[in-house]
Amino acid sequence: MKDVRRCLERQERETNERNRRADETNELQRQVDEQVVITMALQDEENQGRHHGSQVGRRRNVDIHRHSLGKNLLEDYFIPTSLYYDVDFRRRFRMQPHLFNKVMHDICNYDAYFIQKCDAAGVLGLLQEQKLIAVIRMLAYGASADQVDEIARMGKSTTFEALVRFCQAFETVH
């Protein structure tokens, strides 16, 4: 009789734990969805009345040294002899490096947008780490696109597109 009672109590604890985890997951998903909606609303507001493409009198393209910053990010966090430890990575990005690498691998396999490519002029684009770090900083800290620009050297439209694509890919993959 004691064994049956213990078994039932254990099953009840396991069920409660599963329910608690599901509630936490649902709350996290709700927060992510809320952040995406807010970000998209801000982007729509900023984009109203904007023109796209080349126009006379607009600023010329300025080299913002995104490649050197991408190299610095790799040296700071992603090589075996990186400048910062895993503890620093965890504190700054609110996840372990191995989890970041798994998410990056899964997202890049799902959506080729995150893979580094050359543009029409033959210039290399952003590293996948730059795009994902920008997105994760926005989600983890509620950072604005301007704040993320200082970290990843990405324009607002690129940052928002990366955010939307990341959320869609993450929801599909996980």
pLDDT tens digit at each of 174 positions of the chain: 778 788 888 888 888 888 888 888 888 888 888 888 788 777 776 666 555 555 666 666 666 566 666 677 777 777 788 888 888 888 888 888 889 889 999 999 999 999 888 877 777 888 888 888 888 888 888 888 777 777 777 888 888 899 999 999 999 988
- Give me the DSSP letters along 42-99: HHHHHHTT---S--TTSPPP----HHHHHHHHIIIIISTT-SS-HHHHHHHHSS-HHH
Q: Are 153 and 125 in contact (CB under 8 A)?
A: no
Helices (H), 111-173: 128-141, 145-152, 156-173
DSSP secondary structure code for residue 144 in this structure: -
Residue 69's nearest CA partner among 147, 144, 130, 137 is 130
pTM above 0.75, yes or no: no
Q: Which two tokens stand for residue 116?
A: 């580094």
pLDDT at 62: 62
pLDDT at 88: 87
* Domain boundaries, given as residue ranges, for the chain: 1-47, 65-174
Residue whose tokens read 């990186």: 82
Phi-psi region of 152 (alpha: psi -120 to 50; beta: other; left: phi over 0): alpha
53 vs 47, 49, 50, 58, 63, CA distance in Å?
A: 13, 13, 10, 10, 18
Identify the residue whose tokens are 């490096």.
97
Burial profile 97-119: b = 16 or more Cβ within 10 angstroms, e = fewer: beebeebbeebbebbebbeeeee
